[in-house]
Amino acid sequence: MRQKLAITGNEAMAYAMKQINPDVVAAYPITPATEIVQIFSQYVADGEVDTEFVAVESEHSAMSATIGASAAGSRAMTATSSQGFALMWEMLYIASALRLPIVMPEVNRSLSAPINIHADHSDTMGARDSGWIQIYCENSQEAYDSLIQAVRIAEKCLLPIMVTIDGFIISHAMEVVETFDNKEVQDFIGKYKPAHPLLDVKNPITIGAIDFTDYYFEHKRSQIEAMNNVMPVILKIAGEFQKTFGRNYGLFEKYMLDDAETAIVVIGSTAGTAKAAVNNLRKQGKKVGLLKVRVFRPFPAKEISEALSKLKAVAILDRSAGINAYTAPLFTEISSALYTQGKNPKAVNYIYGLGGRDIFVKDIENVYKDLEKIAITGKVENLINYIGVRE
Amino acid sequence: MKKMVEIRWHGRGGQGAKTAALLFADSAMSSGKFIQAFPEYGPERMGAPVQSFDRLSDEPITVHCGVTSPDIVAILDPTLMATVDVTAGLTDDGIIIINTPLTPAEIRKEMGISGKKIFTVDASGISKSTLGKEIPNTPMLGALIKVSGLLDIEKVLDDTRKKLEKKFRTKPELIEGNIKAIRRAYEEVRGER
């Protein structure tokens, strides 16, 4: 039976994991993702899932055990955040290069130092080129729906996938989430048939062999190609999801964008806050719009450029800093995409929300005000701007 | 109801301000509202001032920023009023509900509050007599339902009973105690004449 539940982002993730019923989960707790595996371990203890739960001693071990389990031929998952994610680092690249379809909920949190437990995207943005598929969610419903789709995407593409929510803002906030029947979820994800399981002793293979100047490049080339092929798979599975469950997901979401003169591009929970700003300004007759990036890896460069092509000015909002004497990750990607696609709206970068600094509807309305000025004058005075920081 | 109603809870770490916000939102969802409930996560410790928040609407809620101008403030511990600006951001006709045996007029005088609508309920006293210990957050729900007029009390009690029956299968006295606490606070909450 489908039911509406009042649950937090972490509860939604854990509930989806229960319904996915993976063969193996290896995990280590870290704020604000702790609840995901804590709740899941309760499902294990209560016999509600068939999962082998491995309580490991660190996130490095969590990812290592998940890699081992996935290579062996099981449907394997873990979950983490921030420093824990950082500790997984070297294993992230191994998971993707071994083409293991691991599914990982990730709760976006800032990185130390200074120590901070609150939301920003520094953790997963740092791993944007680790070969993982990345889906960023605006709210708990998207997280629940995306995690279910993620299993299919990963297993079809033979690539690992992370599905992220903003720490505390979503992970610890209760919202209404429509959940599906266990059987509906199981029918949708299907039975896992591993491509080359290590435990298939009749067909022995080597995994993780040495690969020097002779073939390393070819193997990397094929990994690049694997990522090149992901976007149509995401869209196909999103289409099936819509047919079965009703909600529509794309690579990104356009909100009031088609006739807009200025727009904001943003990732995660702030997209929801920005929608309220768009609604307010639309009521005043301003032609403003929004593009929310959902799939950041693979990066839909052509599609996003096309969607932004008619704008006079666009602001790209980053919840992580580049710290590179240039711009932040999302801006760098989008401005590069616009350039290579020959599209030329005036583009400007705003960095906001580091370490969980709140961003309000008013702050976003002010960005649109800046954009209006840029649209009129055709001049970008400050390429890089900051929202809500004391200078 | 107006487009979106925002509520701020004030309590002390361990008093159940977060649980109160979650319970109220859960009841509101069961009554067909769209909801959000979230605590403020600071360096929370037992006894330290904490806040939590609710948003209720007849339409989907997309904003994910903090609540800065609440329509209603619910105060679980009246001693907080001496140190925390509990009326911050509250409009002049905003509502304050306080857990105290004092009357609204007495509170208004003691705290020097002008404007706003003040309501009081002895939630601690009610919880002591119905549940045998001081858990003011459950009765405060009853007071909030009465004062806000947002939800139907009978529906909420029905829904709460069902949830408690699942949670406290082996402790039926807790189910009745909680239901009685909510109903008494609903009936006993006082406004100003």
Residues 6 or more apart whose CB falls under 8 angstroms from that of A73 comprise A194, A197, A198, A199, A200
Measured between CA atoms, the residue of chain B closest to residue A31 is B41
Q: How far is CA A31 from CA A10, A77, A312, A320, A335, in A?
A: 11, 18, 41, 19, 34
- Residue A174: its chain B contacts at CB < 8 A? 21-22, 25-26, 35-38
pLDDT tops 70 at residue A152: yes
Q: pLDDT per residue over A30-71, tens digit each?
A: 999 999 999 999 999 999 999 999 999 999 999 999 999 999
**CA–CA distance, B76 with A346 (Å, rounded to integer):** 51
Biggest CA-to-CA distance, chain B:
48
Residues 6 or more apart whose CB falls under 8 angstroms from that of B141 comprise B20, B23, B24, B27, B156, B182, B185
Contact between B25 and A6 using a beta-carbon 8 Å cutoff: yes
Contact between B37 and A174 using a beta-carbon 8 Å cutoff: yes
Residue tagged 């088609």 (tokens): A258
The pLDDT value given to residue B173: 84
- Residue A272: its chain B contacts at CB < 8 A? 62-64
Size of interface A-B (CB pairs under 8 A): 60
Chain A contact for B133 (CB, 8 A cutoff): no
- Residue A6: its chain B contacts at CB < 8 A? 22, 25-26, 29, 35, 37
The pLDDT value given to residue B1: 67
Contact between B35 and A174 using a beta-carbon 8 Å cutoff: yes
**CA–CA distance, A274 with A387 (Å, rounded to integer):** 13
Biggest CA-to-CA distance, chain A:
70
Of A6, A118, A269, the CB nearest to B35: A6
**Around Cβ A366, how many Cβ atoms within 10 Å?**
14
Contact between B29 and A6 using a beta-carbon 8 Å cutoff: yes
Of B35, B61, B66, the CB nearest to A358: B66
Contact between A6 and B61 using a beta-carbon 8 Å cutoff: no
Contact between B35 and A175 using a beta-carbon 8 Å cutoff: yes
Chain A contact for B64 (CB, 8 A cutoff): yes
pLDDT tops 80 at residue A82: yes
Surface of A (2-21) touching B: CB under 8 A: 4, 6
CA A127 to chain centre: 11
- Give the mean pLDDT of chain A: 97
* Test the A interface: residue of B52, B62, B69 with most A CBs within 10 Å: B62
The yes or no reply on domain B4-188 and CATH 3.90.1170.40 is: no
**CA–CA distance, A151 with A75 (Å, rounded to integer):** 9
Contact between A173 and B63 using a beta-carbon 8 Å cutoff: no
Which two structure tokens, joined as six digits, stand for A125? 């943005």
Q: pLDDT per residue over A133-148, tens digit each?
A: 999 999 999 999 999 9
Domains along the sequence of chain A with CATH: 3-245 (3.40.50.970), 253-386 (3.40.50.920)
What is the mean pLDDT for each group of 10 consecutive residues in chain B (193 residues)?
Answer: 90 89 93 94 80 96 96 96 93 95 95 93 96 92 95 92 84 90 97 87
Decide: B121 and B141 in contact? Cβ < 8 Å: no
**CA–CA distance, A255 with B6 (Å, rounded to integer):** 25
Of B26, B29, B36, the CB nearest to A173: B36
Chain A contact for B40 (CB, 8 A cutoff): no
Q: pLDDT per residue over A153-206, tens digit each?
A: 999 999 999 999 999 999 999 999 999 999 999 999 999 999 999 999 999 999
Chain B contact for A359 (CB, 8 A cutoff): yes
Contact between A173 and B65 using a beta-carbon 8 Å cutoff: no
Chain A contact for B14 (CB, 8 A cutoff): no
- Residue B62: its chain A contacts at CB < 8 A? 138-139, 272-273, 275-276
The pLDDT value given to residue B43: 66
The pLDDT value given to residue B159: 87
Contact between A173 and B38 using a beta-carbon 8 Å cutoff: yes
Each domain of chain B, given as residue ranges in start order, spans: 4-188
Mean pLDDT throughout A369-383? 97
Chain A contact for B36 (CB, 8 A cutoff): yes
Taken in order A57, A63, A64, A70, the sign of the CA dihedral is: positive
Minimal Cα–Cα distance from B111 to chain A, Å? 30
The pLDDT value given to residue B172: 85
Q: pLDDT per residue over A116-134, tens digit each?
A: 999 999 999 999 999 999 9
Mean pLDDT throughout A267-276? 98
pTM over 0.80: yes
**CA–CA distance, A352 with A369 (Å, rounded to integer):** 16
The pLDDT value given to residue B47: 85
- Per DSSP bridges, beta strands A262-267 and A313-318 are parallel
Among residues A163, A362, A133, the alpha carbon closest in space to that of A268 is found at A163
Share above pLDDT 90 across residues of chain A, in percent, rounded to a whole number: 100
Contact between B25 and A273 using a beta-carbon 8 Å cutoff: no
Measured between CA atoms, the residue of chain A closest to residue B41 is A168
The pLDDT value given to residue B44: 64
Among residues A306, A311, A358, A305, the alpha carbon closest in space to that of A335 is found at A305
